[in-house]
Structure 1
Amino acid sequence: MRGAQRGAVSRLGAVSSLGAGLTLAAKLALAVFLSGVSLTVSSRAYAEAPARAEVRLTPGADGALGAWLVAGPISAQAARRFDPGSASPHAGAELSGARFRVLGHRGGAIDLRRALGGPGSFAALAGRLEVKAPGPGYLLVGLDGRYSVWLNRKQVYERPVDALRGRGFEPVPLELEAGSHELLIWAASDLPHFALSVRIVSQADGLPPAGLSWALPGATDADRARLASELLESSLTLRPGRAQLRLQFPYGYIEPKGPGDLAERGWIPEITLGAAGAARRLRVGALPSGAQGTRDFEVSLPRRAGEPVELALGLGGERRQLTARREPATEEALELAARVEAEAIRRGPDHAFIADTLSWHRRALQGVTGADERRARERLTAFTKRAQGGESPLAPGVQHLALRSRLDGQPQPLSLHLPRDYSGRSQSARYPLVVLLHGYGSTPERILRAFLGSASEHPVVDGVVIAPHAHGDSFFRDAGEQNTLDVIDWALSSLPVDPDRVSISGVSMGGTGTAHLALRYPERFSAASPLSGYHSYFVRRDTSGRPIRDWELEQMHHFSPASWAENGGALPMYVAHGTLDHPLENSRVLVDRARALKNPITDVWPEIGHNAWEKVWARAAMWPWLSGQRRKSAPLSSLRLVTSQLRYGKRHFVELLALAHGPALARFEARVQSGKLVITTDGVTSFRLLPPLPAGLTWPLGVEVDGAALELPERAVLERGAEGWRVTKEPEADDQGGEQVRKRPGAEGPIRDLFLQPTRIVYGTRRPQTARVTREIARGFLATRGRADLHYTISADTELSARDRSAHNLLLIGGADDNHTSRAFKEQLFSSREGAALTLRGERFEGDGVGAIYIQPHPEDPSKSVVVIDAATAQGYWLSAALPQLIPDFLVFDADMLPATGQQLLGHARVLAGGRFDEHWQLPRGARDPAVVNPTAIPKR
């Protein structure tokens, strides 16, 4: 089944303790609700007479409800006897051996596991909605575990399976009439995490319902004072000539108790500026607490350069002291650096790295205090002085620079070591270059210090060592991969580096990145040394024992360096892994595969934990091996190539032009035999041979391809058809935007491939019902894909210029009905909306909250890509935050995808369809998810 029927059956048919006590009538009502019909909730009060004491909150600007009545932990035995419909929650009331108490947000969610403590995995969370403006809304629930929603003591929704909260929300449709409504969430979790975040928004505009309040019956003045502290976020930052005070209420804020607390427009902060004895009271107006949630509050305060700013803040019973200070020398250093940066920009591209470095150092200095401020100022001052007058600021020893990323336009830091006799890029001597990749959460400076075995900034080794930031915790994939290559290119063009002696090494995440890059670009490196890396998705705990689709297998191979070992060929590798760092298979899979292929590899297994580099790198011990390797330049008589993308399909004398996507990597092998080239392939459907050919071969060339004998003229193309391989002419240029556009390097998928090129993220504003959620998905999309330090430009569809639209890859949040940019591409987009259904490449999909994400050629430039997130309703856009990490060219989904939130794979979650488009961007045969068509057809690996 598909659509609403399948969703209703899957949710109602799953029996869990969350639905204990549900009557037949309630089950029938739930089935109707889950089939797409909203339940209208009467305004009749179901709660008992309200407690005399209570606290009311205005929701956050995004509808966040930042405090709850929470009872728990409740044991499984007690939960089986409990009927959530019988609860009458108020602070202090008993429920199944636990008592309700008031808990507020501390960060992104209420951590129930930490707050409740003790045994038991069940909890009840409750409060009362005071609705002034009736209408349809969404209760947006983010919870680690499973839950049911009860409104006025009736169950209206259930998710009976565990799922991680991730960074998204599950939209629960509600139809609320004016009045009071008791809300209870009955939650459970068998997961390591158990946390909750809830919001409520109107379906009309995605904002909190007008005039809505959130009440916590029985809450005391002590609860009120604690929430006043927990829900207020304050910051004081220094700007030129002023200080900026910012008050934020992301999870809502307590409402005034009565007229004595109320100004004409809301709360009035009490701000006293200055130290005791010289303080003065400031009049700053009232908080902008409007009819639809709280808003940020900012005040600009006067200050003199070099003077600290001290103030006392009072709000809602909360009192706190804020101080911001910056040393006078720091102010002077920042001003001078800004002038030198402007001069470097005027001097042109050759001085770009100077401007980028000054920009990054100035930003870093403004974010630190104390000893860190002094150290950052010294570095900025030293670099600024060397850069004055237009001379190169580079000198022997260690320096900390930045290069602007061409992907997001932001300066990316790097640490650089230059040898003792360095005198400029024009010098005749050429040095070996070692590229270092840092670990997760680490920095270029720390990894360089670990490699050199010294915290000194004096020269240590006789060569160049460079450590890029590469967008932080990117695993040196996607944007991190591209930035690392750009840093190497900069070093080759700007420093006296020998291009035949460029080696790479890294630790932990950087060890994975080392093998990832070396086995995709082996011709660029003379050696590679991955330490303590993770080289296969097939030994990960979060992928083992789970159903795996074919497109997921391909993605697992794509991100597993061990699967690319054939590309290593003659590239020397030195692998180290501590014997106490389990599982040892993380590195052993790469070592074993390289040995089986007879690739040159050395492996060492010191008796140590994860930090094997402390022994292997001690006192720059790896420098002689890495710097002593030289890139092999002799003509090849054989070649092995594996790849999942055309991007990596050009090596020496072959260029792959088309692939048949399957569960494994495509393979190409060639060897010279008896004066001809013998070729075997798997998953390759088109390729051509390039000069220079292996020694002894000339055009026209005799080849044998998968057993077929052919003769090739120069630059001929071979294509596999129904009857085998044939020789064709050079491919003709694609029809711009037409059906014959083929996949090509840089525009071929999968979806993550978008981020290897400069990208603009564009959210739709065409419909008020979806404008808010498309903006939120745009701002949060990269956060749901990992922790890389990426800052792509995000703009509304009405703000995107025609130039930026055509010059960049695009991530379009919203289809043609929701996004003006998508509307401009309507005839070329792969998706369209038909009422409550979506059509993708001519195939129709229906269901509650149906949505799709896919990649396609850019309609204005098929060498670029566009990723589109499209949905029939706002529900589908909310659900897009539940996407797993390993996604192919397209996925069509509904609420059954939710268990995949925060996971690598879909696992037991289900989508409506998914896979890779063929070489002409058409849907493959069997695009429907096998978990829907035949659940037993997906093997566990």
Structure 2
Amino acid sequence: MRKVILLGIACGFALLALNTQPAFPQTKEKFGPPKVILPSDDVLNQIAEKTAQLAAKIAELRKNPKHHELLPDVEIFLRGAESIVRFKEFYHKDSGKWTLDTLDRGLERAETLASGAAPPWTTPVIPNVVRGHRSSVDGTAQPYGITYPNGYGKDVDKKRRVDIVLHGRNSTLTEVSFLNTHNGKKKPPADQDWVQIDIFGRGNNAYRWAGETDVLEAMEAFFANEAKAGRGEMADRRRVVLRGFSMGGAGAWHLGLHHPDKWCVMGPGAGFTTTHDYAWKGKKALPDYQERCLRIYDAIDYVENARMIPIVAYSGGEDSQKLAADNIENRLKELKIDAMTHLIKPGVGHKFEADYFQKANALWAERAATGRSSYPNRVSFVAYSTKHSICDWVAIASLEKHFEKATVNAEITENGCRVATTNVRVIGLVLPPPIKDVTIEIDRNKVIVPALPKTRNGGVPGKTSIVLVREGAEWKNWRPGRPIEKGNIACHYGVMLQGVAQNASLQGPIDDAFASGFVCVTGTGETWHPATQKFVDAKVAAFKHDWAKHWRGELPITNEYGISPNEIKEKHLILFGDPSSNFLLANILPKLPLKWTKDEIEFAGKKFKAGEHVPVLIFPNPLNPSKYVVLNTGHTWPSEDYAKTNALLYPRLGDYAILRMTPAGYEVATAGLFDEFWRVERK
């Protein structure tokens, strides 16, 4: 493994082993709200007036479907102005001025769309621009920034590297401040030869859950827009660099190792790679169902995926967050994986200084020069959940046991491919079209895939998908090779398992439901017990506030009479109430793994008093087994944890819990994880 320690750093900085205290005193991070500097009444009145004007213009534009594609580019300005006023987030002396500018820019874009003129913000004429994409999670417009290099778009044959840049934690970050940094007035540095995409990521969440979704959707929106503008070949998908510092480093660590096939190199700086080391400075005893769920976002568990992506990391020599890179580096050394370069600047704390950025950038450019193979001959990766289980042409569609290590080593051979797995029950492969019979050697089994017939015009079909299922020690071909219409392995193989087993679409825990499209459904009737209604009302109110404040969205919510068939088809249902108050809940209750009457709740062979307890859980929706149903909760960590380190945004209740209602909130009577077939695990 290459390790660069520049300027003659002394070897007195010993590498840290996992689960040890940092070598340097931990910096006391400040996560509390900054001081509010309210604008004058005159400015606030102007903001209110222009907000109403922009809202009216957007409402008018929505009436014409031809505007829908570009509406997010306008809506981001309205959302920014509304949010900064709603939460009194005027943290800078110029926040009022920025908000007025935000509204003016939104009004200008709205007028451009209404006039039918060509929108200038969709071209590199404006080198520093902000765009919006429509989130699949809650339907809101989310911003992302683009900085084009000089000359971009003029030389059609010149492909550019694309950098996905994740910001660090910033207590003063708002949509308005983000929009202000991409106001079209800043020119790119003369030596910038890459396209830079700055991710908003829904604020300060370490790019977890809906934050992770935002990174991937913003990137896809950029590439899709470039293609529509005829610049699809100028931004190179094979040369995408993922980088970030501090919280952005934490995001780069986990996104890089979770999705190694999306990047040509990852460049994390500082951050954290284990929850225990960062949140508690050592081992903390957690319930088993919480400890296992840490494997969803602890990057250290995915270190072997560095075989598929090179790492160029940076640390300040005296930064306590250097431990993030040390953890990864030590584990890679143990595994004898030579994939990481660690740049360390002596005597520097939590700061990515310009000279070392230049050194890091030279190494990123070196690794990006050739780009990532679009179809590597070998794929080797690990997973602990089907949430993160796709790499290139291989997809783990179902595990033998979640949150235990699963491995895949696959290699293209002359006659097909050779695959070795552990803890994998269903695997999907995307292979070149088999114009002759293909032999797949997998875990000492041989599976023959017959050749596909030629197309009507005599041609050869595109890539083909094959799904293999393990039955005992034997692998069988569940889905013979068939053409993939869209050529995208990310289309989940979980379709075959819907409603039966945890899979690449549905695997829990509860918090996973809020990383893709969902809608909350409240009841209109009366609950059997006043305590239940009080609990439900508090949960809905907290979720609504937290979603807007900390996830920068609008909670999708309706009642049992307002839910549409299309929402049931396309979204996870988050049901609040009891069988008496919510008839949708009562309708699906017989197909859920619990009984709930006015007197008692029965779950996993145990009975609980209904007047004192409430169930929360996640389960395949009986009305649509390709989506979740969740009962009576939003995200499962307490609201106060948003004011602490975002390493604490991990699941607290697993897949299910029976909660004992108390005046202060609740106590956990029982909680845990379902097995691979959505049954309560046997102890």
Matched, 1:757 2:520: no
Partners of 1:912 and 1:602 in 2: CA distance: 45
Counterpart of 1:565 (choices 279, 296, 303) is 303
Quote the residue 1:253 is aligned against.
Answer: none
Quote the residue 2:542 is aligned against.
Answer: 780
- Residue 487 of structure 1 and its aligned partner are, at CA, apart by 0.5
Q: Deviations over 1:99-153 (max 9, x none)?
A: xxxxxxxxxxxxxxxxxxxxxxxxxxxxxxxxxxxxxxxxxxxxxxxxxxxxxxx
Partners of 1:429 and 1:599 in 2: CA distance: 31
Matched, 1:718 2:445: no
Q: Kindly report which structure 2 residues correspond to 1:430-829, keeping only aligned pairs within 5 A, or say none.
A: 430-441=159-170, 443=173, 457-460=186-189, 461-495=192-226, 496=231, 497-542=235-280, 544-582=282-320, 584-595=322-333, 596-607=335-346, 611-615=350-354, 622-628=360-366, 629=368, 630-633=370-373, 635-671=375-411, 677-692=417-432, 699-705=437-443, 708-713=444-449, 717-722=467-472, 724-730=473-479, 741-768=500-527, 769=530, 770-781=532-543, 787-829=550-592
- Residue 789 of structure 1 and its aligned partner are, at CA, apart by 2.8
Counterpart of 1:414 (choices 144, 147, 152) is 144
Partners of 2:493 and 2:415 in 1: CA distance: 36
Give the letter for the 1:354 counterpart. D
Quote the residue 1:917 is aligned against.
Answer: 675
Partners of 1:672 and 1:430 in 2: CA distance: 29
Asked whether the equivalents of residues 344 and 355 of structure 1 are also in contact (C-alpha less than 8 Å), the reply is no
- Residue 492 of structure 1 and its aligned partner are, at CA, apart by 0.6
Bigger fraction of residues in strand: 1
Asked whether the equivalents of residues 161 and 236 of structure 2 are also in contact (C-alpha less than 8 Å), the reply is yes
Partners of 2:470 and 2:177 in 1: CA distance: 47
Give the letter for the 2:212 counterpart. E
Q: Deviations over 1:741-779 (max 9, x none)?
A: 333323221211101211112233433523343122122
Counterpart of 1:393 (choices 104, 115, 120) is 120
Partners of 1:653 and 1:374 in 2: CA distance: 50
Structure 1 unpaired stretches of 5+: 1-191, 193-234, 238-307, 309-322, 871-876, 902-908, 927-941
Partners of 1:717 and 1:856 in 2: CA distance: 24
Q: Kindly report which structure 2 residues correspond to 1:125-274, keeping only aligned pairs within 5 A, or say none.
A: none
- Residue 894 of structure 1 and its aligned partner are, at CA, apart by 4.5
Q: What SS does the corresponding residue of 1:458 show, helix, strand or coil?
A: coil
Asked whether the equivalents of residues 808 and 864 of structure 1 are also in contact (C-alpha less than 8 Å), the reply is yes
Give the letter for the 2:474 counterpart. W
Partners of 1:773 and 1:396 in 2: CA distance: 50
Cα distance change of structure 1 residues 879 and 371 upon mapping to structure 2, 3 Å threshold:
closer
Higher relative contact order (CA 8 A, sep 6+): 2
Give the letter for the 1:352 counterpart. L
Quote the residue 1:269 is aligned against.
Answer: none
Instruction: Give the TM-score normalised by structure 1.
Output: 0.54
Counterpart of 1:381 (choices 104, 111, 118) is 104
Q: What SS does the corresponding residue of 2:503 show, helix, strand or coil?
A: coil
Quote the residue 2:487 is aligned against.
Answer: none
Partners of 1:740 and 1:776 in 2: CA distance: 31
Higher-Rg structure is 1
Partners of 1:666 and 1:702 in 2: CA distance: 19
Give the letter for the 1:505 counterpart. R
Partners of 1:478 and 1:735 in 2: CA distance: 20
Partners of 1:499 and 1:474 in 2: CA distance: 26
Q: Deviations over 1:449-488 (max 9, x none)?
A: 9999x99712222332121211112211110111111100
Quote the residue 1:121 is aligned against.
Answer: none
Q: What SS does the corresponding residue of 1:577 show, helix, strand or coil?
A: strand
Q: Kindly report which structure 2 residues correspond to 1:356-367, keeping only aligned pairs within 5 A, or say none.
A: 356-360=75-79, 362-363=81-82
- Residue 923 of structure 1 and its aligned partner are, at CA, apart by 2.3
Asked whether the equivalents of residues 773 and 878 of structure 1 are also in contact (C-alpha less than 8 Å), the reply is no
Partners of 2:198 and 2:140 in 1: CA distance: 17
Cα distance change of structure 1 residues 449 and 327 upon mapping to structure 2, 3 Å threshold:
closer
- Residue 532 of structure 1 and its aligned partner are, at CA, apart by 0.9
Asked whether the equivalents of residues 468 and 479 of structure 2 are also in contact (C-alpha less than 8 Å), the reply is no
Quote the residue 1:178 is aligned against.
Answer: none
Counterpart of 2:42 (choices 316, 325, 332) is 325
Give the letter for the 1:487 counterpart. A
Asked whether the equivalents of residues 270 and 322 of structure 2 are also in contact (C-alpha less than 8 Å), the reply is no
Q: Kindly report which structure 2 residues correspond to 1:290-369, keeping only aligned pairs within 5 A, or say none.
A: 324-326=41-43, 337=54, 341=58, 345=62, 346=64, 347-360=66-79, 362-363=81-82
Q: What SS does the corresponding residue of 1:326 show, helix, strand or coil?
A: helix
- Residue 701 of structure 1 and its aligned partner are, at CA, apart by 0.7
Cα distance change of structure 1 residues 798 and 665 upon mapping to structure 2, 3 Å threshold:
same
Quote the residue 2:17 is aligned against.
Answer: none
Give the letter for the 2:680 counterpart. L
Asked whether the equivalents of residues 414 and 444 of structure 1 are also in contact (C-alpha less than 8 Å), the reply is no
Partners of 2:104 and 2:359 in 1: CA distance: 33
Asked whether the equivalents of residues 653 and 671 of structure 2 are also in contact (C-alpha less than 8 Å), the reply is no
Cα distance change of structure 1 residues 684 and 421 upon mapping to structure 2, 3 Å threshold:
same
Q: How many residues align?
A: 584
Partners of 1:771 and 1:505 in 2: CA distance: 46
Cα distance change of structure 1 residues 381 and 735 upon mapping to structure 2, 3 Å threshold:
closer
Matched, 1:864 2:627: yes
Partners of 1:741 and 1:445 in 2: CA distance: 41
Matched, 1:830 2:582: no
- Residue 500 of structure 1 and its aligned partner are, at CA, apart by 1.6
Cα distance change of structure 1 residues 576 and 456 upon mapping to structure 2, 3 Å threshold:
farther
- Residue 573 of structure 1 and its aligned partner are, at CA, apart by 1.4
Q: What SS does the corresponding residue of 1:752 show, helix, strand or coil?
A: helix
Instruction: Give the TM-score normalised by structure 2.
Output: 0.73
Q: What SS does the corresponding residue of 1:518 show, helix, strand or coil?
A: helix
- Residue 588 of structure 1 and its aligned partner are, at CA, apart by 1.0
Structure 2 unpaired stretches of 5+: 1-27, 29-35, 451-464, 481-491, 642-647
Cα distance change of structure 1 residues 899 and 439 upon mapping to structure 2, 3 Å threshold:
farther
Q: Deviations over 1:423-455 (max 9, x none)?
A: 59x966543221111122354899999999x99
Asked whether the equivalents of residues 531 and 612 of structure 1 are also in contact (C-alpha less than 8 Å), the reply is no
Cα distance change of structure 1 residues 329 and 463 upon mapping to structure 2, 3 Å threshold:
farther
Cα distance change of structure 1 residues 538 and 663 upon mapping to structure 2, 3 Å threshold:
farther
Identity percentage of aligned residues: 17
Cα distance change of structure 1 residues 613 and 899 upon mapping to structure 2, 3 Å threshold:
farther
